[in-house]
Chains A and B, each alone.
Chain A
Amino acid sequence: MNEGEEKFGQIYFAVLGAVALAFGAAELIASAGGGFTWGILDSSGAANPLFLSWRAIILLSVGFFYLSSVKDFAEVHQLAKSVMASIMIWIVAGMAIWSRIAGSIPGEETWFNSLDGFLASYAPPYCPEMFLLPFSLVIMYYIFKEGETEK
């Protein structure tokens, strides 16, 4: 990992960490107040209100891990923190996506959903982890880079 890549990683994951922290705080407040839906962002916890506070704790941890990994980013232990934070996002977002996939197949009163119903199941709003998911994938680049360096 060269200096430019390290600098970019530091700034990128600092911003991502701050965003995750903000989302976590919002979800924590939302879990205390019954949840909210703002545009395409869903923190209503409609499916499971208990899950909302759990998600908030995960997001806060993700934020802390990203932010704590920023200093000396190229060091493998620091990078591992970012990897761990990304994996946490993948797990929660993966669960959210999986529940959509599972829910999109059966119809309300029939065995299989209509095409419109199937597509509409993937419509917004989305939980914060799903917004963070594509941005967290950047860590893959650093994982590959680290692998190359080790070789």
Chain B
Amino acid sequence: MRNEKRKVQMQSAKLPLKAVAIVALVLLAVSSAVISVDAHMPGAKPLPEFELEPISIYDGDTLIDISLDDIGDYHGEICVCGGCAFRATQLGISKILGDEIPARDDIKIVSRLPTPGSRDCFQYITGTGPGIETKTKGEYKVILPDGTAVVNLSNKDLKKASKDNTLDNFRFEVCRKSTGECFEVVLKLGVFSEDYFELRKKVKFGIPENATSEEKALFKSEWEDTRDKFLTSPDWELFEDVEEPEEEEPDVVGGATFLSILVIGLILLVALVHSRKKAS
């Protein structure tokens, strides 16, 4: 009798444990699926080779270098929005500070882009995100082009706010708090393909209808191309108000002058040696 009672007790103890394990597994699977829809591009081709300087900032008295790989690790991957946000911050800092290294708590970034990729990048740089070891913190805000401030920066709320994203959202104000200087980084028309945002809406949100498999494949390839542009293209190809550095004209006259002197000198030298030999 006593043994039977114990058996029943043990079974009832095992049951919730099993249930908890199953629920946890289901939740894990669901959450990973949600993340992949939110920001990641499953099956995206590998990153191209790229060379991007890290962003150097002072965290208190410590100089830290933030590379795009750091941002990728923090976010989970290097995506279109993360790449764009990184390049925009780099450009904004160089425009307002030149070669000077900013202090983290002197940086303020106002973004019009409500996406997890750009949020993680800006939060990592300003030190305002969760799980970032930092002594100082900058400022990061998301204000939509219509002036609405996005207060809740959770993946769910950002996803909701990003439904109608257009090129207009790719504007980032990088400011130096101590002086009030700001530079608005504006993405150039043509960085995204014409149908990018329409396809994004269809693929990610099923608006106005679910995307076909061809549309999904097309979006994936456009997403990859755009991501690669942010990794490999120069600033003047990506952003407004950045002048392409003038290519130096080759100094043909200088080169021709030197070559002439060299040839004449050699001829004279050979002639001199030859005449000396003849004379002797």
Contacts and interface: CB of A to CB of B under 8 A. Distances in A.
Nearest to B254: A123
A140 B268 CA distance: 12
Contacts of A121: 255
Interface in A108-129: 116-124, 126
Interface residues of B, number: 14
A120 B250 CA distance: 5
B251 interface: yes
A97 interface: yes
A134 interface: yes
B15 interface: no
Contact of A134 (B250, B255, B265): B265
B278 interface: no
A144 B276 contact: yes
Nearest to A148: B280
Interface stretch (B31-39, B121-129, B256-264): B256-264
A130 to B, nearest CB: 9
A122 B263 CA distance: 12
Nearest to B269: A137
A97 B262 CA distance: 9
A135 to B, nearest CB: 12
B272 interface: yes
B256 A122 contact: yes
A97 B261 CA distance: 12
B252 interface: yes
Interface residues of A, number: 16
Nearest to A122: B255
B17 to A, nearest CB: 65
B259 A122 contact: yes
Nearest to A141: B272
B269 A119 contact: no
Contacts of B254: 120, 122-124
A121 B262 CA distance: 13
Interface string B225-257: 000000000000000000000000011101110
A117 to B, nearest CB: 7
Contacts of B276: 144
Interface of A: 97, 116-124, 126, 134, 137, 140, 144, 151
Given A119-B255, A122-B255, A137-B269, 18 more contacts: A97-B262, A116-B252, A119-B259, A120-B250, A120-B255, A122-B254, A122-B256, A122-B262, A123-B250, A123-B251, A123-B258, A124-B254, A124-B258, A126-B258, A134-B265, A140-B269, A140-B272, A144-B276
* A-B residue pairs, 3 tightest by C-beta: A120-B250, A123-B251, A122-B255
